[in-house]
Structure 1
Amino acid sequence: MTETVDGSTSRAQSGRARARKAKGLSIERVYTTEGVHPYDAVTWERRDVVQTNWKTGETVFEQRGVEFPDFWSVNASTIVTTKYFRGAVGSPEREQSLRQLLDRVVLTYTKAGKEHGYFATDADAEVFEHELTHMLLHQVFSFNSPVWFNVGTSSPQQVSACFILAVDDSMDSILNWYREEGLIFKGGSGAGLNLSRIRSSKELLRSSGGTASGPVSFMRGADASAGTIKSGGATRRAAKMVVLDVDHPDIVEFVETKEREEEKIRVLRDAGFDMDLGGEDITSVQYQNANNSIRVDDAFMRAVEEGTSYGLRARTSGEVIEEIDAKELWGKVAKAAWACADPGIQYDSTINDWHTTPETGRITASNPCSEYMHLDNSSCNLASLNLLKFLSEDGTTFDVERFVKSVELIITAMDISICFADFPTEAIGETTKAYRQLGIGYANLGAMLMASGLAYDSDGGRALAASITSLMTGVSYRRSAELAGVVGAYDGYQQNAAPHTRVMRKHLAANDDIRTMHSMDIAVQREATKQWADNLKIGEKNGWRNAQASVLAPTGTIGFMMDCDTTGIEPDFSLVKFKKLVGGGSMQVVNQTVPVALKKLGYTGETIEAIMEYIAEKGHVVDAPGLKTEHYEVFDCAVGDRAIKPMGHVRMMAAAQPFLSGAISKTVNMPETSTVEEIADVYFQGWKLGLKALAVYRDNCKVGQPLSSQKSQDDKTSASATAEATPEVKTVVVEKPIRRRLPKSRQSITTSFSVGGAEGYMTSGAHENGELGELFLKLGKQGSTLAGVMDAFSIAVSIGLQYGVPLETFVQKFTNLKFEPAGLTDDSDVRMAQSIMDYVFRRLALDYIDYDTRSALGIHSAEERQRYLDTGSHQPISKGSTAAELVETQPETLKEAATAEAATTTEVPADVSAEQAQADTAKPAPKAAHTSAELLEVITGSAVDSPLCMTCGTKMRPAGSCHVCEGCGSTSGCS
């Protein structure tokens, strides 16, 4: 796509002066044809984008007649219209076409490129404009969100999403930290910083001789500040990161801080307080607005490995003031992460070993998602490639040449943006312009591997991922070296020439160590080797334009803009997804990467169709008709029956890490049953495998523990003691239950339903007094085996009802039972169901159980939920909180609480009779306050296994360390 025209090389400190000392770039066409504008080569159509509040039906956004290419999905056009079109809706200034959005950005980049001497001729600038437009139009790549928000508007031209701040051991610096974070949050971005320069609570103040407060104390002020600023003016919380070095004397307090607060949340929630993020009572809990990470060096990790002590050093003098057991501290870290997912780990020695500018300063911190790691008071702008765009339709080849040319153009554009960008603080602007940090990355890796017939957790999958990452960064630095020959190296290059070159050689050496396995990764790795060699040759002559080139970001919203199936480095989340439909609504569909993968693996038409139908019904591939067991692993996902193991995620990160300037935004999901020791091992293996950062999340770790079994044990002990004191009973009376049959003619209700796309009919018959007495279930389009099982189940339930088993008992046992099909229903009272059984018994509860009993079970109708949502028309759900207020808060805590509480069961002591057990289970458990599961029920109508978007109600899915909505692009807190 581009090549460098020879010109003189200047390394003068003034970028403006040297920008005129060399000829510019010649840009060649790859995607476009001379004389044909990219817009004229596609078919455009008008669409109506209307978003309604899924709870109330109120229209929250409406823009009709927006213009998009016909191949853009409804999801992508909705997200771009609602998130990125500028101007007040309904005003003449409002953007109403993708053309306007792309022109606003691309023409700004092209103009700046011409002004700063990037192009040899005006014709080259026009080719640059057309090529960039085509790639964005065809979803080949995307810039990060701040570009779409700000570039070409009257707002400050902010292009960076990632910021790192700095704080020193002075009150002026600490107060300035609060101010700078606030400015960044206001602009919709996030920031991170290291607090280790602040003296510990075990050291004295120089001025008064009193004891210092310590960094954890000052975190309270920053946390409160972040909690009062709605990021970007929206409802989500700010994104921030705080880091503390492992040798800081306050490290134990830092490690345990959020664990203690999480326990406080559980206690207060159980007492009936509104403890959800944004809730009325959450302000009594601290440190909830930041991700916490500790910085560990190799010396500490070796002390953990060897079981030796490690010294904590005073910030003022550097002397060791306390010796701790390294393994014991490591255990505290793992325990805290097990309990509340914090702290994460950043491997300081590894990070700084790959640092290109150490003569300027060490890398001490990261942005909130941990992918950007560079100098203090700096920023990074991001862009991500859609890898699936470079894979052939049959999944056999990766278009290496087109990938190389695309990376060249993107890096050129990203560097141009620094020339006109605005920054939130003067210090950040100076550092960014002097070191020009870029963050190219990719999305759709998981989908591309599946389409290639490669398992995510396999040597072949890792080899291809490593090769592509190596090629991407190798081309990026080679282009950066060429740019240095045109517009000059970054200002700090001369001072850091030797270490920068050393890191380039480390990347090349790692590339040579890739163990290729297939023709595809062999071809990619071969080209990567060439690019790294050319990079070193050109760089040693010209220097480099950029101190950093690549990271792997979450790519949440922009991933959906590109219609990506998977985000960042993530595997596919699940094989069945929700697809938004034109005109509103959504449907559950099998991921369309699956048939491509099946074709690549050699399956043919009828077999592929049968497998797809099986996946649609079951949600997984186990026992799918005609599918070979050795191919199961290709379809493993982040969740489900064949969820990828935690170390599978870690090993994929380790494969890509040696080829990235920065790090990787990714959270390793772990099952609820994971132990503290397993989390400790994952963190330890991350160090061994050369990662720069790692975070874990254990399912349900952020909600209260299951109900204590202590009461049951006390009851059992009491019953045993009573039995010993009571004379033996000689007569045993056995009462035989009596079956109460229904009359020949009885009242009945027939309900048609759809759960996750599976349709059926339910007929319920009642006694003369209105009590439920029988049940019939018929499922449409199902095999005879399932139909027979449902008939038998209906008979069993009907007989149980007629013998006196209370309906409440069946409801307690079968609601929250989870299996496929599951998902959205067509019932306004029960919008989501975890299985057909879950839906059936929720519907029966609504039809046959009185309100008070249902309320204790956490089951409400849509009308009842609406009364809760209508402030003032009903009593609050719990102290200080109505459901309307809860809707405004983050969904994750409610989701996790519902999942944990739904999994809670009560064990029946062995010495309790069957009759007593039945009587006990028939009684709703007394509750002092509404549980989190009930709160979620009020809002959504059912317990679900993923957060629901608070705007459109679609299931969200993970993107790095946050969640993002596939329907509207809303995020849960990550910028």
Structure 2
Amino acid sequence: MEIHQIPKVPLGEHRYERRYTKPGVHPYETVKWDFRDATITDHKGQVIFEQKKVEVPAFWSQTATNIVASKYFRGRLGTTERESSVRHLLDRVAKTITRWGVKGRYFQDEEEAQSFEAELTHILLHQLAAFNSPVWFNVGVEEHPQCSACFINSVHDDMRSIMNLAVTEGMLFKYGSGTGSNLSSLRSSKEHLSTGGKASGPVSFMKGFDAFAGVIKSGGRTRRAAKMVILNVDHPDIVDFIWSKANEEKKAWALIDAGYDGSVDGEAYGSVFFQNANHSVRVTDDFMHAAMENKDWQTHYITNRKVADTFKAADLMRQMAEAAYICGDPGIQFDTTVNEWNPCSNTDRINASNPCSEYMFLDDSACNLASLNLMKFRTVEGEFDVDSFKHAVEIVITAQEILVDNASYPTPAIEKNSHDYRPLGMGYANLGALLMSLGIPYDSEKGRNYSAAISALMSGHAYAISSLIAKRLGPFRGYASNEKPFLNVIGMHRSHAYKIPRDDVPRDLVEAAAKSWDEALSLGERFGFRNAQIS
């Protein structure tokens, strides 16, 4: 598609309008409700959770019923404070967010606030979208709840910082969140301490972090904590890091062969390290070129940056692949590419990610997530409902933005960066089901182009809405010092949106995707953006 000159977007006053609901008709009145028992059993058939007479929409599955009752209903089971209906849950979340929105001047009048609340309630009720778990856990329960699922924490090369990281991670796990850190700032096991002894190295400290994650259940629930540890490919302990999880996997195999329980929560895996974290190696373009050209690669001491060891880059790459074949880790993060797309590069570089690696931003930052259910935007004719999708993006991204100033954060640094940069994480779910329903192979150019168009539309429209919120409330505090790199990244997104092949994607979808980035750039040049990250 040819890139045209950026059109100036006509500026009527932006309002949150109704699309799914009607004034005077509550979303709850438009669906049939059922009472069901929510029961979950373990692999032995023993009941591990049960709540009777749970009220849910009739079209919700039993799986959805079990999840919402066991994970998200608040109050002690068997007491009058216990939530027993999806109405209770949605009211708690949607009404609280709307009340915060009114307080934060996101709406011009009561009518707009009522429209927003009704539309958000409909979206959640009909499973068009869902927030990350901490929102369901905590909003409407705590005065200043932890709302973000994703955190990136820094750590420095001193014992106090290392221990503080353990405390911070523990508190994040307690309230249902995950965290990632790049440990490359820690001196290696090959380097000396100021007291004369040898340093422990990051892999040793990882054992302690992993143990805490294993005993602190996320959100006080039965799911595991979520954690990511990252090491740069030029760190002296990189080989130990690459094999750390694979070696523990081999120990688990030996225990299983000896008769120990090999299930995910069994004795075998409960007896070995690194079962509570994802591991990733941070690689640069220089390293990748060295691997392709069979060149040497040097690691460098942390304290003085002198050369520690020399390896064949291809050999290190092979070791990563072999370790990942054994246990699935380490993954790889492409540092050069990540920082080319850093919208706040004047503030700092991006060093790390959250546990699942979809959130990459500055150290000591937080991100609340939401996912749109793509199957809900598939029409009966098999088309993608662009306008409905854009409307859902508008409502949900605004709700996520409202959460930022009303949430709590575990450290002063994360709190400051959250208010200064306001990063959000909008995504989608059910892509595989959507492509399958359309007869498009998942691993195909057509499938990738279709998903690229949806991704571009979602992100572009969300950035446009962020700019409209900035028009009303002002851009994020760090925008002025990052305006040039920020607009450059928005322009890069726009350029790539225009490169999506039109032959494989419905015309209205690919054109809407490109137009969304026209609007985002045009609005952003005038008003800036409310959020430093959007998706």
TM range (shorter): over 0.9
Deviations 1:842-876 (A, max 9, x none): xxxxxxxxxxxxxxxxxxxxxxxxxxxxxxxxxxx
Equivalence for 2:18: 29
1:97 paired with 2:85, answer yes
The 5-angstrom pairing of residues 472-621 of structure 1 reads: 472-518=458-504, 521-550=506-535
Equivalence for 2:361: 374
Distance change (3 Å), C-alpha of 1:464 and 1:336: same
Contact preservation (8 Å) 1:51, 1:62: no
Deviations 1:222-279 (A, max 9, x none): 2222233233333443221110000111111111222222222233433445676655
2:159 counterpart letter in structure 1: M
Equivalence for 2:312: 325
Contact preservation (8 Å) 1:164, 1:378: yes
Contact preservation (8 Å) 1:5, 1:26: no
1:111 counterpart letter in structure 2: R
Q: Name stretches of at least 5 consecutive residues in structure 1 with no aligned partner.
A: 7-24, 551-975
- 2-structure distance, mates of 1:407, 1:258: 39
The 5-angstrom pairing of residues 218-229 of structure 1 reads: 218-229=205-216
Question: Which moved further from structure 2: 279-288 or 173-182?
Answer: 279-288
Partner-residue secondary structure (3-state), 2:114: helix
TM-score by structure 1 length? 0.52
1:445 paired with 2:431, answer yes
Contact preservation (8 Å) 2:366, 2:418: yes
1:314 Cα deviation after fit: 1.8
Q: Name stretches of at least 5 consecutive residues in structure 2 with no aligned partner.
A: 1-9
- 2-structure distance, mates of 1:273, 1:31: 54
Equivalence for 1:347: 334
- 2-structure distance, mates of 1:286, 1:490: 41
1:141 paired with 2:129, answer yes
- 2-structure distance, mates of 1:266, 1:59: 28
Partner-residue secondary structure (3-state), 1:427: helix
Question: Which of the residues 137, 156, 161 maps onto 1:168?
Answer: 156
Partner-residue secondary structure (3-state), 1:133: helix
1:56 Cα deviation after fit: 5.3
Equivalence for 1:108: 96
- 2-structure distance, mates of 1:43, 1:278: 39
2:365 counterpart letter in structure 1: S
The 5-angstrom pairing of residues 697-846 of structure 1 reads: none
Q: What value does the CA root-mean-square deviation take over the aligned residues? A: 2.1
Equivalence for 1:424: 410
Equivalence for 1:210: 197
Equivalence for 2:217: 230
Deviations 1:895-939 (A, max 9, x none): xxxxxxxxxxxxxxxxxxxxxxxxxxxxxxxxxxxxxxxxxxxxx
1:195 counterpart letter in structure 2: L
Partner-residue secondary structure (3-state), 1:440: strand
- 2-structure distance, mates of 1:109, 1:125: 10
Distance change (3 Å), C-alpha of 1:271 and 1:67: closer
1:476 Cα deviation after fit: 0.6
1:320 Cα deviation after fit: 2.9
1:41 Cα deviation after fit: 2.1
2:227 counterpart letter in structure 1: K
1:525 Cα deviation after fit: 1.1
- 1-structure distance, mates of 2:223, 2:32: 37
- 2-structure distance, mates of 1:265, 1:55: 22
Equivalence for 2:454: 468
- 2-structure distance, mates of 1:85, 1:334: 42
- 1-structure distance, mates of 2:363, 2:104: 27
1:437 Cα deviation after fit: 0.9
Deviations 1:19-74 (A, max 9, x none): xxxxxx5221111122222222222233333445663555741222x322222223
Equivalence for 1:604: none
1:42 paired with 2:27, answer no
- 1-structure distance, mates of 2:506, 2:121: 29
- 2-structure distance, mates of 1:353, 1:78: 43
Contact preservation (8 Å) 2:71, 2:221: no
Contact preservation (8 Å) 2:133, 2:176: no
- 2-structure distance, mates of 1:344, 1:116: 40
Percent of paired sites with the same residue: 50
1:61 paired with 2:46, answer no
- 2-structure distance, mates of 1:52, 1:253: 39
Distance change (3 Å), C-alpha of 1:34 and 1:510: same
Equivalence for 2:120: 132
Contact preservation (8 Å) 2:51, 2:69: no
Equivalence for 1:82: 70
- 1-structure distance, mates of 2:148, 2:348: 21
- 2-structure distance, mates of 1:287, 1:138: 38
Partner-residue secondary structure (3-state), 1:383: strand
1:129 counterpart letter in structure 2: E
2:451 counterpart letter in structure 1: A
1:79 Cα deviation after fit: 2.1
- 2-structure distance, mates of 1:299, 1:58: 54
Question: Which of the residues 229, 239, 243 maps onto 2:230?
Answer: 243
2:531 counterpart letter in structure 1: N
1:390 paired with 2:372, answer no
The 5-angstrom pairing of residues 246-265 of structure 1 reads: 246-265=233-252
1:457 Cα deviation after fit: 2.1
- 2-structure distance, mates of 1:129, 1:218: 46
Contact preservation (8 Å) 1:162, 1:190: yes
- 2-structure distance, mates of 1:502, 1:296: 24
1:535 counterpart letter in structure 2: A
- 2-structure distance, mates of 1:77, 1:68: 7
Equivalence for 2:7: none
Equivalence for 2:3: none
Partner-residue secondary structure (3-state), 1:339: helix
- 2-structure distance, mates of 1:280, 1:451: 41
TM-score by structure 2 length? 0.93
1:413 counterpart letter in structure 2: A
Contact preservation (8 Å) 1:53, 1:60: no
Deviations 1:802-846 (A, max 9, x none): xxxxxxxxxxxxxxxxxxxxxxxxxxxxxxxxxxxxxxxxxxxxx
Residues paired across the two proteins, number: 526
Partner-residue secondary structure (3-state), 2:476: coil
- 2-structure distance, mates of 1:243, 1:311: 18
1:456 Cα deviation after fit: 1.5
Deviations 1:306-354 (A, max 9, x none): 1111221221223333322111111111111112221111111111111
Partner-residue secondary structure (3-state), 2:80: coil
Distance change (3 Å), C-alpha of 1:446 and 1:415: same
Partner-residue secondary structure (3-state), 1:26: coil
1:457 paired with 2:446, answer no
- 1-structure distance, mates of 2:36, 2:311: 64
Distance change (3 Å), C-alpha of 1:472 and 1:283: closer
Distance change (3 Å), C-alpha of 1:401 and 1:237: closer
Partner-residue secondary structure (3-state), 1:129: helix
Equivalence for 2:396: 410
Question: Which moved further from structure 2: 332-341 or 228-237?
Answer: 228-237
Question: Which of the residues 82, 100, 105 maps onto 1:117?
Answer: 105
Question: Which moved further from structure 2: 173-182 or 456-465?
Answer: 456-465
1:446 counterpart letter in structure 2: G
Partner-residue secondary structure (3-state), 1:196: helix
